Chain A
Amino acid sequence: MATELLPTRRALTPSLPERNAAKKTSDFRWRMLRLLLAIVVSVIILFPLYWMLVVAFSTRSDLLSGAVRLWPGTFTTSNFERVFNGFPVVTWFGNSAAIAVTVALITVSVNLLGGYALAHLKFRGSSVLFLIALSTLMIPVQVIMVPLFNLVTGLGLYGSYWAVILPTAASAFGLFLARQFILAIPTDLIEAARIDGAGNWRVFTRIILPLSKPLIAVLFFMSLLQTWNDFAWPLIALKQNALFTLPIGLLYLQGQFGSDYGGTMAFALLNVAPMVILFLVFQRYFVQGFARSGIR
C-alpha cells in the first residue's frame, strides 16, 4: 500500500529538497529586488548631499557652464578661501557652538529636575501643570514671535546670545522624555534611600542622575542638534552680523553671493558637517530619542 502510494505522491508534489530549492530561488529573487530598491532609495537620499560636496569643490566657470558633469571638473578649494576671507565664519561657527551647547546644558538640567518632580514627587496640580507644559508643543514660534520679540527686547536681552538661548531652552518635549524615562526608575530604590534619610536633592543627585545617563545623552544630543539647526527664531532675534549662527549666516551669505553656488555650498558644508558626524557617531542616542518620542 505504502509503496504504491509513494510514487503518486511524488508525481503530484515536488519532494522536500526540490521545494526548498524553489523557495530558495524565489527568496533570493525577492532579496535581490529588496536590495535593489534599498539602493535606489539610498541614492535618492545621498545624491543631493553628494552634489553639495561636488559644487563646494568646483570652480565657478565649471558650475556656470551648461555641461552636465556629475563630478568636479577641476577640484578647487577656492570657494572655501572666498568664504573664509569674506565673512566672519569662525565667529559664526563659535556662536553656533556656544549657543547650542548652552541651550543643551540648560535644557537637560531643567528637564531632568522637572522630570523627577513629575515622575516621583506628589504635589497638587502636577498633572495639570504637565498637561499645560505638553500643550505648548503645539504652538509654533511664528504664533508668538511678535510678543516674544517685544519681551526679549523688554528684558534687555536683544543683542546678546541670551535672546536666542532662553526662548530655545524652554522645551516641553525634553520634559516629556525625562518624565517618561524617570518613571521607569523603580520607586523601591527611591523609597529605600528616603528611609535611609535622604532628602529629595540627595535622591536626585545620588539615584536619579546616575541611573539617567542614557536619558542625559539623548536629551543633550537632541537639544544640540535642534539648536544648531534652528532657523526661524534666530532669524528674528539675531540682527547683528557678529551674533549670527551658521544657518542665519548661510542665508545672509547666499543673499550676498547670489548665484555663486560654490561659495554658498562651501559654507553650507561647514553648517552640515559637524552635525552629520555627531549624528553618525552617536546615532544610537539620536535614534533612541526620536523613537522614544513615538512611544506614547
Chain B
Amino acid sequence: MSTASASATASIPGSVSAAAPSATARTVASSGRGGRRRRLWRANLAGYAFLTPNLVLLGLFVLFPLVSAVVISFEKTNGFGSGTFAGLDNYARLATDPVFWRSTFNTALFTALVTPLSMLLGLGAAVLLNSVLPARGLFRSILILPMAISGVATALIGVLVFDQNNGILDKLLRFAGLQTIPWQSGGAAAFTSVVLVTLWWRVGFNMLIYLAGLQSISPELYEAARLDGAGGWQRFRFLTVPLVGPSSFFLLIMNVIYSFQVFDIVFVLTGGGPQNATSVLVTYAYNNGFVTRDQGYAAAIGVVLLLITLVFTAVQWRASRTRDLVD
C-alpha cells in the first residue's frame, strides 16, 4: 500500500499538468491513510474513466493493429487466411527486391525535395504576406485554399494540368513553340509532376505555421535592428530565421512524416509509374497488401517504413534537445 501511494505521489512531478501543485497539496492535506487511499483511488478512477473512450479507440484501431503488423511481417500469408511463421523470410526478400529499393530511394528523394522546398516557399510566402500589402487577408486565404481540397481531387486536377496528350501545360508549351514534356512516359518528368502537385497542395500549410511564428515576434526587435543599420536581408537572416526556429523544427518533422507517407497524390496521379519511377514505400505496400494480396510482405514493408520514421524522429528529437542545451 505504501508503495502504491508513494509511486502515485512520485508520478506527479513527472506529469506536465498545470494542476500538479494543487493536486499535491490535496494529497498531502487529506488526513488518514484510508482516506488518502480512497481519494487517490477515486481520482485515478475518474482520470481513467474520462480518458478511456479515446484510449480504447486508439488501442483497438491503431496500437493493436500495429502489434499485429509486426507479427504478420514474420509470417508467410496466403490471401486473407491466417499465415504461418516464416522467420525473417519477408525481410530477406525485401533485401533483394529491386522495386523495394527503388521505392525506398523514391521516398527518400521525395522527402529530400518536398521538405526543404515547401518550407522555403512557405517561409517566403509568410514573410511576404506578413508585410504591408493591400488585400493581405485575401492573398492569405487564397494560399491556404488548397488545404481544403482532397488529395484525390488535387491529383486529378494535376492530371488535367500535366497530361502529356491533353494537359493544359503541354498545350501551352506547344502553343509557345517550346519542347513539350513527357509527364507520364518520362520517369524524371513524372516524379517532377508529383513534387510540383504536392508543393501546390502543401505550401499553404507551411505558410500558415510560419505566419503564426512570425506574428509572435515583437516588431520592436526589427525596429532595433533597423536602427543598428541592419538591411532587409540581414534582418531576415539574423532575426526572422532564428526566431521562427520552433516553427521550422515543427514543420521539418511534419513535412518529413508527411513525405514518408505520401499516398493520395502518387496513387492517383501516376500510380507509381512509369516503370516504378514514382513508386514509394506506401504505394508499394498497398499494392502488395491489397492488389497481389501478399500480406506478410506488405506488413514487412510497413514495418521498415515505421522504423525509418522512428529513427528520424529520434535523431531530430536529440538534435533539438542538444540545440536547446547549447542555446
Interface residues of A, Cβ cutoff 8 Å to B: 31, 34-35, 37-38, 41-42, 44-46, 48-49, 51-52, 55, 63-64, 66, 68, 109-111, 113-114, 116-127, 129, 132-133, 136-140, 142-151, 153, 166-167, 169-172, 175, 183, 187, 190-191, 200, 204, 225, 228-232, 236, 246-247, 250-251, 254, 259, 261, 264-265, 268, 271-272, 275-276, 278-280, 283, 286-287, 290-291, 293-296
Q: How far is the CA of A230 from the CA of B208 in the complex (A)?
A: 21
Cβ–Cβ < 8 Å partners of B246 in chain A: 296
Given A114-B50, A170-B58; A37-B128 close (CB under 8 Å): yes
Known: A41-B128, A113-B54. 13 other contacts (CB 8 A): A114-B53, A116-B50, A140-B282, A143-B303, A144-B62, A148-B61, A170-B61, A170-B62, A172-B62, A230-B150, A275-B150, A294-B247, A294-B251
**How many chain B residues touch the partner (CB < 8 A)?**
106
At the interface with chain A, which of B91-99, B111-119, B218-226, B305-313? B305-313
B156 lies within 8 A of A268 (CB): yes
11 contacts between A and B (CB under 8 A): A110-B53, A110-B57, A111-B54, A136-B62, A140-B282, A142-B305, A166-B57, A170-B57, A232-B286, A254-B268, A268-B153
Question: Does A272 lie within 8 Å of B149, measured CB to CB?
Answer: yes
A interface: dominant SS:
helix
| A4 CB to nearest B CB, Å | 30
Secondary structure class of chain B's binding surface, majority of residues:
helix
Question: Contact at A126–B62, with CB atoms within 8 Å?
Answer: no
Q: How far is the CA of A280 from the CA of B14 in the complex (A)?
A: 42
Selected contact of A250 from candidates B20, B60, B69, B153, CB within 8 Å: B153
- Confirm or deny: B157 has a beta carbon within 8 angstroms of a beta carbon on chain A: yes
Q: Kindly list chain A residues whose C-beta atoms are within 8 Å of the C-beta of B34.
A: none
Closest residue of chain B to A186 (Cβ to Cβ) is: B18
In the complex, the answer to whether B61 meets A45 with C-beta atoms within 8 Å is: no
A256 to B191, CA, bound (A): 25
> Within the assembled complex, what's the spacing in Å between the Cα atoms of A68 and B170?
10
Known: A126-B15, A251-B268. A35 touches B143 (CB 8 A): no
10 closest Cβ contacts across the A-B interface? A123-B47, A147-B68, A229-B150, A117-B50, A143-B302, A279-B148, A114-B54, A144-B65, A170-B57, A140-B261
Asked, given contacts A37-B128, A296-B246, whether A142 binds B150 with beta carbons under 8 Å apart, the answer is no
Contact A44–B200 (Cβ < 8 Å): yes
Closest to A168 in B: B61
Please give me the residue from chain A that is nearest to B209 by CB atom.
A294
Check B152–A175 contact: CB distance below 8 A: no
CA distance A145 to B68 in the complex (A): 10
Return the contact of A120 from the options B17, B48, B49 (Cβ within 8 A).
Answer: B17
Q: How far is the CA of A280 from the CA of B143 in the complex (A)?
A: 12
Inter-subunit contact A291/B209 (CB<8 Å): yes
Q: Mask for B194-220, Cβ within 8 A of A = 1, else 0?
A: 000000100011001101110000000
B85 at the interface (CB under 8 A from A): no
The winner among A44, A52, A145, A166 for most chain B CB atoms within 10 A is A145
